[in-house]
């Protein structure tokens, strides 16, 4: 999947394809969000523009291992409710707490432990307000924020 997205991104930024002029002028936005051993993200709100290519890096600046204090960054679809989603996610231990087929999500990172980081690249969804969480058991109540597409 990542490979396909990368290929699409390459096609979209190809300056030699006249039909893609509009797409190639779009910005690539880098976002770095930190998470820690206190079960917190360092951002409660992220703002981007529709159609932006987002390069998002999640850093775990703590020391605790993944099994005890794992963090991921999960962007939920607009019609996904945080609480019920998180309850489903708890049961998906074998899939790093992501429900099967990523149901209810737009995109998500790997689950990481202290000292690790992980990066994903994706296209910003349609204008609107979305919610991001960490889906590790018990974390979403403290680890959530708004992802606003303008």
Could you list the residues that contact Co ion (CB under 5 A)?
71, 134, 136, 139
User: In the complex, what is the shortest distance from the CB of residue 139 to Co ion, in angstroms, rounded to a whole number?
Assistant: 4
Instruction: Find how far residue 115's CA is from the centre of its chain.
Output: 18
Residues 6 or more apart in contact with residue 21 via CB below 8 angstroms: none
**Rounded Cα gap, residues 117 and 13, in angstroms:** 26
User: In the complex, what is the shortest distance from the CB of residue 109 to Co ion, in angstroms, rounded to a whole number?
Assistant: 11
User: In the complex, what is the shortest distance from the CB of residue 94 to Co ion, in angstroms, rounded to a whole number?
Assistant: 17
Q: Residue number with the shortest CB distance to Co ion?
A: 134
- Counting beta carbons within 10 angstroms of the beta carbon of residue 63, is it exposed (0 to 12), middle (13 to 18) or buried (19 or more)? exposed
User: In the complex, what is the shortest distance from the CB of residue 45 to Co ion, in angstroms, rounded to a whole number?
Assistant: 18
Minimum CB distance to Co ion smaller for 70 or for 104? 70
Minimum CB distance to Co ion smaller for 7 or for 142? 142
Helices (H) and strands (E) in the chain, counts: 4, 8
Minimum CB distance to Co ion smaller for 84 or for 138? 138
Minimum CB distance to Co ion smaller for 13 or for 39? 39
């Amino acid at each position: 999947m990542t490979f396909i997205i990368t290929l699409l991104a390459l096609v979209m930024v190809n300056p030699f394809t006249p039909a893609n002029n509009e797409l190639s002028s779009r910005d690539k936005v880098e976002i770095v969000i930190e998470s820690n051993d206190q079960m917190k993200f360092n951002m409660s709100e992220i703002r981007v523009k529709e159609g932006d290519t987002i390069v998002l890096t999640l850093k775990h600046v703590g020391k605790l291992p993944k099994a005890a204090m794992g963090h991921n960054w999960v962007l939920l679809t607009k019609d996904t409710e945080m609480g019920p989603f998180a309850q489903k996610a708890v049961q998906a231990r074998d899939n790093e707490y992501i429900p099967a087929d990523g149901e209810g999500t737009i995109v998500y990172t790997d689950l990481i432990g202290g000292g690790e980081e992980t990066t994903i690249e994706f296209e910003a969804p349609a204008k609107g307000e979305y919610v991001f969480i960490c889906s590790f058991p018990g974390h979403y109540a403290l680890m959530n924020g708004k992802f606003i597409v303008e």
